[in-house]
Amino acid sequence: MRNPQLNQDGELQHLLSTEGLPARIMRDILDKAGTFLDGGEQPDIRKVPLLHGKSVFNIFFENSTRTRTTFEIAAKRLSADVVNLNIGSSSTSKGETLLDTVDNLCAMHADMFIVRHSQSGAAHLIARHVAPEIHVINAGDGRHAHPTQALLDMFTIRHYKKEFHNLRVAIVGDVLHSRVARSQIHALTTLGVPEVRVIAPKTLLPTMVENLGVHVYHDMAKGLRDVDVILMLRLQNERMQGALLPSAQEYFKHYGLTEEKLSYAKPDAIVMHPGPMNRGVEIDSAVADGPNSVILSQVTFGIAVRMAVMSTLAGGR
Amino acid sequence: MRNPQLNQDGELQHLLSTEGLPARIMRDILDKAGTFLDGGEQPDIRKVPLLHGKSVFNIFFENSTRTRTTFEIAAKRLSADVVNLNIGSSSTSKGETLLDTVDNLCAMHADMFIVRHSQSGAAHLIARHVAPEIHVINAGDGRHAHPTQALLDMFTIRHYKKEFHNLRVAIVGDVLHSRVARSQIHALTTLGVPEVRVIAPKTLLPTMVENLGVHVYHDMAKGLRDVDVILMLRLQNERMQGALLPSAQEYFKHYGLTEEKLSYAKPDAIVMHPGPMNRGVEIDSAVADGPNSVILSQVTFGIAVRMAVMSTLAGGR
Amino acid sequence: MRNPQLNQDGELQHLLSTEGLPARIMRDILDKAGTFLDGGEQPDIRKVPLLHGKSVFNIFFENSTRTRTTFEIAAKRLSADVVNLNIGSSSTSKGETLLDTVDNLCAMHADMFIVRHSQSGAAHLIARHVAPEIHVINAGDGRHAHPTQALLDMFTIRHYKKEFHNLRVAIVGDVLHSRVARSQIHALTTLGVPEVRVIAPKTLLPTMVENLGVHVYHDMAKGLRDVDVILMLRLQNERMQGALLPSAQEYFKHYGLTEEKLSYAKPDAIVMHPGPMNRGVEIDSAVADGPNSVILSQVTFGIAVRMAVMSTLAGGR
């Protein structure tokens, strides 16, 4: 079966997952993202007319102001027309099927869909359905994938560490429920990171996670030893209410990133987090706001990376 | 009394209803809509600066993501600034009257209002109230009218059938509660369609519907015989809960458009639906997705027709 | 302590309050607002590219469609990209702190925040936190300040009365709960109005209100005598439910502005109201729609004044 993300010429047709995404295409996106940033200390993003006259639809079946906003800003910086659809309150609630809704938006001459859905596979379903001139970006589907987050993380790592082939990277926290972790692991291994670690209690790890090519740790002191990059995951509050975790305090004690635990990593290790942070749960404020943190740079780079993905897709027409 | 939709020179001032709208003005709108579509198989809509610097307000007192989106896209393709107001959550809930709200928006230099309201006559009320340089488009008021839907239906019919004077057209379903049906009937008769039929159970027909110039059928086999155009109506789910209809299954059995019932019509009959469709209730999927269906073309043409209405109104200033 | 609204060169850095805002800066804003209005009877506002490529974020922690819309229109007339954030439904509800949310938006390269918050001081807090290239406009914080409303009121007074130094101005109504009244009083005294009166029942006046430099009246006949300008305040419906007021009817009888009470003022007195009006509570329709009312002009001037504030701030970079 052909990779559903690529067209017949091997170019990016949709961005659905970092799984199976060729390293060449990832690097092209990171390179293009760099062109949207100037070289200054506080990098600025210029407004460009690359998507002038194109219609980008944010179709969010799951609420996410933060992610929706980053895509909206990226699209507007590219001069696209952006239409926000909160689908919960729309036709699907009138009995229309998901694909009828998509067909209708296509008939309105959508050029690109940004899709967020609580069901894994929703973006793939839409991508398989639409005509070839329409592009789909997965902005998070269930526990499956969040590829633009992973790509902006890769951009951030390359920005601070220059190369991937000599890095030791640790992903810390609720890997089990995290689409971000899955997308990060695929991107890191594809880009040649030789050692990817996951650090989590057993209850927050998928079974057979080693099959993804990662090393498993249950202890921060060992897992963080000599790493170059620490990717913190957000701990959903609702996990506390189930049987998976005893309490936020207990979690913080063992897995919360403090200055003490950070000291196990290399002195120049960078600390990343996809946001929004739970200070005092998965990360201590001293680290979140400390010299190793590049968390706000991730946000800035996220705009540039999303601009790069969008212009790569729309430039392929 | 002068037609409230026309100014003293007989030009379109507001679009409130297809009732009383001169055939000349309808034809001008359809012709202008055609200029926004290129001639290709997959017609494209160009972005044009006709409304650059104009402010279009979508004021929706009744939620409708689909209709609001089509107007928003049309306005943005015309380069207007668009402001969406969900009035349910705004000043009217603070005790301000509808006309105070309208006065305020006028004072902000609105150029055009797109009004959706659950009360019949709301758009007329606003149109009578505003200054002459402001234009009102009725995007659906109660059971009264939905003129842009009817005009896009007329565009679709003309696109596929070229002429109106030799057609037999059937409107099928819940005519009683349908502003779409009312607007279609007025548009079809004005444009010279010699035979307009309505097909529905007695409980879903207004009394004296024959006075609108239509022929009434209660049986699909007879009503669809030799028609050129079938206009399906959406069946609101809430109708099922009252005493008007026994069940969705029963309705589908008698009035749902299946391939078998479609065979009564002319072989080249076109099937239309304003959306969103209830598959398996008023229409079978085999017909909705079949070769006679032009339902998605309606959506595409809807953008062009709304651009034509808006630029006709704003061009009159 | 340096005025937090001004930068080191004494230029406007943020607009947080009219308290402490130099008269020179107020006058510059009013002058600039005038340049966005043409000279006609029905003043038109031109679209200008002064903020092209800039990102303006409406961050509203408290719902206000009217105020949000006026800022959105002003920003779009300046050609800015506008992103609306209803923060109630966003990351802060996921446990993120207010300042983390602000940091994230800054990292997305916001140029300007328009902030509405139910807590007094929220806009100041954000202004102290952000980098120097980012500007904050207070769009209403608790009972504290609403400076753009006060500035548009000053523009309206100057438009109709030409000078401030010879005016007698009365503010009528719920001064106790009104951020608008506080901002008006500071602006009026700073601009040199020699006599500012407040007229209200004792239960709706702050203690020591005289310290703000105003004359207190509890009687409309005396308070309105020979005034040039009447600034009505909105009476929040929720005030009725407490012990502060007997009833809307009783309030209207004593403090509602009727034609009879208006006759105590100068014949050419102007009547203003920040909207939305409670007709029959604080103001009679005969006055609201009468020849002395300039209420709708306030709305029009409000767009121009907000454009002036935004372009003053963004021009300072």
The chain B residues in contact with chain C (CB within 8 A) are 52-53, 55, 81, 83, 85-87, 89-91, 94-97, 100-101, 103-109, 131, 133
Q: Is the pLDDT of residue C130 over 60?
A: yes
CA-CA distances (angstroms) from residue A303 to B86, C106, C144? 29, 12, 35
**How would you class B160 by CB atoms within 10 Å of its CB: exposed for 0-12, middle for 13-18, buried for 19 or more?**
middle
Chain C residues touching residue B130 (CB < 8 angstroms): none
Angstrom distance (rounded) from CA A74 to CA A64: 16
Angstrom distance (rounded) from CA B167 to CA B157: 10
Q: Provide the number of CB pairs (under 8 Å) joining chain A to chain B.
A: 67
Are residues C95 and A276, on separate chains, in Cβ contact within 8 Å?
yes
Nearest to B65 among A53, A91, A95 (CB): A91
Q: Which residue of B has its CA nearest to A94?
A: B276
Task: Give residue A91's pLDDT.
Answer: 46
Q: For A42-75, how does the pLDDT look when each residue is reduced to its tens digit (9 = 90+)?
A: 556 678 889 988 999 999 888 788 889 999 999 9
Nearest to C190 by CA among C22, C39, C13: C22
Chain B residues touching residue A55 (CB < 8 angstroms): 73, 76
Q: Is the pLDDT of residue A252 over 90?
A: yes
Query: pLDDT band at C246, cuts 50/70/90?
Result: confident
Q: Are residues C165 and C288 in the same domain?
A: yes
Q: What are phi and psi of C92, to 5 degrees?
A: -60, -30
Q: How many CB atoms lie within 10 A of CB B285?
A: 13
- AA letter at C97: T
The chain C residues in contact with chain B (CB within 8 A) are 42, 44-47, 63, 65-66, 69-70, 72-73, 76-77, 237, 275-279, 296-300, 302-303
DSSP A204: G
* Structural domain for B82, as ranges: 23-146+300-315
Q: Provide the number of CB pairs (under 8 Å) joining chain A to chain C.
A: 66
Q: Are residues B114 and B59 in the same domain?
A: yes
Q: Provide the number of CB pairs (under 8 Å) joining chain B to chain C.
A: 66
Q: Which residue of C has its CA nearest to A71?
A: C108
Weakest-pLDDT range from A59-73, A103-117, A252-266: A59-73
Task: Give residue B244's pLDDT.
Answer: 72
- CATH at C290: 3.40.50.1370
Nearest to B69 among A52, A85, A106 (CB): A85
Residue with the bigger pLDDT between C165 and A316: it is C165
CA-CA distances (angstroms) from residue C316 to B158, C11, C115, C232, C312? 56, 7, 20, 34, 6
Report how far apart the first and last C-alpha atoms of chain C are (Å, whole number). Answer: 23
Task: Give residue A195's pLDDT.
Answer: 98
Report, as an integer, the average pLDDT of A210-232: 97
Report, as an integer, the average pLDDT of C71-80: 93
* CB contact at 8 A, A25 and A147: no
Task: Give residue B317's pLDDT.
Answer: 39
Angstrom distance (rounded) from CA A280 to CA A253: 10
Chain A residues touching residue B77 (CB < 8 angstroms): 81
Distance from CA of B8 to the nearest CA of A (A): 35
Nearest to B209 by CA among B173, B240, B242: B173
Are residues B299 and A90, on separate chains, in Cβ contact within 8 Å?
no
Are residues B66 and A90, on separate chains, in Cβ contact within 8 Å?
yes
Task: Give residue A316's pLDDT.
Answer: 44
Q: Are residues A200 and A246 in the same domain?
A: yes
Task: Give residue C13's pLDDT.
Answer: 96
Q: Are residues B172 and B278 in the same domain?
A: yes
Chain C residues touching residue A69 (CB < 8 angstroms): 83, 85, 105, 108
Task: Give residue B316's pLDDT.
Answer: 44
Q: Are residues C156 and C280 in the same domain?
A: yes
Angstrom distance (rounded) from CA A158 to CA A145: 21
Report, as an integer, the average pLDDT of C136-142: 95
Residue with the bigger pLDDT between B224 and C242: it is B224
Angstrom distance (rounded) from CA A142 to CA A120: 4
Q: Assess if residue A12 is contained within a domain.
A: no
- Average pLDDT of chain C? 91
Are residues B103 and C278, on separate chains, in Cβ contact within 8 Å?
no
Task: Give residue C88's pLDDT.
Answer: 62
Task: Give residue B88's pLDDT.
Answer: 62
Angstrom distance (rounded) from CA C92 to CA C87: 7
Task: Give residue A239's pLDDT.
Answer: 66
Q: Are residues A166 and A46 in the same domain?
A: no
Report, as an integer, the average pLDDT of B12-33: 97
Task: Give residue C62's pLDDT.
Answer: 81
CA-CA distances (angstroms) from residue C281 to A29, C222, C292? 61, 20, 18
The chain A residues in contact with chain C (CB within 8 A) are 42, 44-47, 63, 65-66, 69-70, 72-73, 76-77, 237, 275-279, 296-300, 302-303
Distance from CA of C97 to the nearest CA of A (A): 9
Q: Assess if residue A27 is contained within a domain.
A: yes
* CB contact at 8 A, C204 and C174: yes
Q: Are residues B123 and B197 in the same domain?
A: no
Nearest to A94 among B44, B47, B276 (CB): B276
pLDDT-above-70 percentage for chain B? 91
CA-CA distances (angstroms) from residue C261 to C202, C252, C258, C265? 19, 11, 5, 8
Are residues B69 and A108, on separate chains, in Cβ contact within 8 Å?
yes
Chain B residues touching residue A95 (CB < 8 angstroms): 237, 276, 278
**Does the bond joining A194 to the residue before it have cis omega, within 30 degrees of 0?**
no
Nearest to C109 among A66, A72, A303 (CB): A303
Report, as an integer, the average pLDDT of A77-84: 91
Q: Are residues B308 and B220 in the same domain?
A: no
Q: Are residues A154 and A268 in the same domain?
A: yes
Q: Assess if residue B4 is contained within a domain.
A: no
Q: Are residues C155 and C202 in the same domain?
A: yes
Are residues B109 and C66, on separate chains, in Cβ contact within 8 Å?
no
Nearest to C191 by CA among C11, C24, C1: C24
Angstrom distance (rounded) from CA A277 to CA A285: 10
DSSP C257: B
Q: Assess if residue A130 is contained within a domain.
A: yes
Chain A residues touching residue C52 (CB < 8 angstroms): 47
Q: For C19-39, how does the pLDDT look when each residue is reduced to its tens digit (9 = 90+)?
A: 999 999 999 999 999 999 875
Report, as an integer, the average pLDDT of A154-179: 97
Task: Give residue C91's pLDDT.
Answer: 46
**Which structure tokens are listed for B211?**
């006075």
Q: Which residue of A has its CA nearest to C81?
A: A76
Q: Is the pLDDT of residue B221 over 50?
A: yes
Q: Are residues B120 and B166 in the same domain?
A: no
| Beta strand pairing call for C229-232 and B112-117 | unpaired
Q: Which residue of C has its CA nearest to A83?
A: C83
Query: pLDDT band at A95, cuts 50/70/90?
Result: low
* CB contact at 8 A, A68 and A84: yes
Are residues A104 and B303, on separate chains, in Cβ contact within 8 Å?
no
Q: Are residues B141 and B123 in the same domain?
A: yes
Those chains having 3 or more beta-carbon pairs within 8 angstroms of chain C are A, B
Q: Is the pLDDT of residue B46 over 90?
A: no
Chain A residues touching residue C94 (CB < 8 angstroms): 237, 276
Query: pLDDT band at B242, cuts 50/70/90?
Result: low
Q: Assess if residue A4 is contained within a domain.
A: no
**How would you class B218 by CB atoms within 10 Å of its CB: exposed for 0-12, middle for 13-18, buried for 19 or more?**
middle
Nearest to B89 among C65, C275, C303 (CB): C65
| Helices A179-190, A147-161: inter-axial angle, 10-degree rounding | 50
Angstrom distance (rounded) from CA C115 to CA C141: 8
- Helices and strands in chain C: count of H runs, count of E runs: 12, 9
Chain C residues touching residue A66 (CB < 8 angstroms): 90-91, 104
* CB contact at 8 A, A92 and A98: yes
Residue of C69, C78, C152, C273 best to disrupt the B interface, most CBs of B under 10 A: C69
Those chains having 3 or more beta-carbon pairs within 8 angstroms of chain A are B, C
Distance from CA of C94 to the nearest CA of A (A): 7
Q: Assess if residue A264 is contained within a domain.
A: yes
Token look-up 């308070």 returns C223
Q: What phi-psi label fits residue C76: left (phi over 0), alpha (psi between -120 and 50 degrees) or beta?
A: alpha
Q: Is the pLDDT of residue B45 over 70?
A: no
Q: How many CB atoms lie within 10 A of CB C133?
A: 14
Are residues B299 and A107, on separate chains, in Cβ contact within 8 Å?
yes
Residue with the bigger pLDDT between A47 and C113: it is C113
Q: Is the pLDDT of residue B115 over 60?
A: yes
Task: Give residue C162's pLDDT.
Answer: 97
Task: Give residue C47's pLDDT.
Answer: 82
Q: Assess if residue A7 is contained within a domain.
A: no
CA-CA distances (angstroms) from residue A253 to A23, A219, A257, A283? 38, 11, 9, 10
Task: Give residue A63's pLDDT.
Answer: 77
Task: Give residue C317's pLDDT.
Answer: 39
Distance from CA of C299 to the nearest CA of B (A): 6
Q: DSSP per residue over chain B, as a string?
A: ---TTB-TTS-B--B--STT--HHHHHHHHHHHHHTB-SSSS--B----TTTT-EEEEEESS--HHHHHHHHHHHHHTT-EEEEEEGGGSGGGGT--HHHHHHHHHHTT--EEEEEESSTTHHHHHHHHS-TT-EEEEEEETTTB-HHHHHHHHHHHHHHHS-STT-EEEEES--TT-HHHHHHHHHHHHTT-SEEEEE--GGGS-TTGGGGT-EEES-HHHHTTT-SEEEE----THHHHSSS-S-HHHHHHHHSB-HHHHTTS-TT-EEE--S---BTTTB-HHHHTSTTB-HHHHHHHHHHHHHHHHHHHHHT-
Task: Give residue C316's pLDDT.
Answer: 44
Q: For B162-206, how does the pLDDT look when each residue is reduced to its tens digit (9 = 90+)?
A: 999 999 999 999 999 999 999 999 999 999 999 999 999 999 999
- Average pLDDT of chain A? 91
Q: Assess if residue A107 is contained within a domain.
A: yes
Distance from CA of C312 to the nearest CA of A (A): 21
Residue of A109, A112, A113 best to disrupt the B interface, most CBs of B under 10 A: A109
* CB contact at 8 A, A15 and A309: yes
Q: How many domains does chain C have?
A: 2
Nearest to A193 by CA among A153, A220, A248, A225: A153
Angstrom distance (rounded) from CA A29 to CA B252: 51
* CB contact at 8 A, A283 and A220: no
Q: For B254-309, how does the pLDDT look when each residue is reduced to its tens digit (9 = 90+)?
A: 999 999 999 999 999 999 999 999 999 999 999 999 999 999 999 999 999 999 99
Q: Is the pLDDT of residue C269 over 70?
A: yes
Q: Is the pLDDT of residue B17 over 90?
A: yes
Report, as an integer, the average pLDDT of B29-43: 78
Token look-up 């998605």 returns B296
Task: Give residue A128's pLDDT.
Answer: 95
Distance from CA of B53 to the nearest CA of C (A): 6
Report, as an integer, the average pLDDT of B218-223: 97
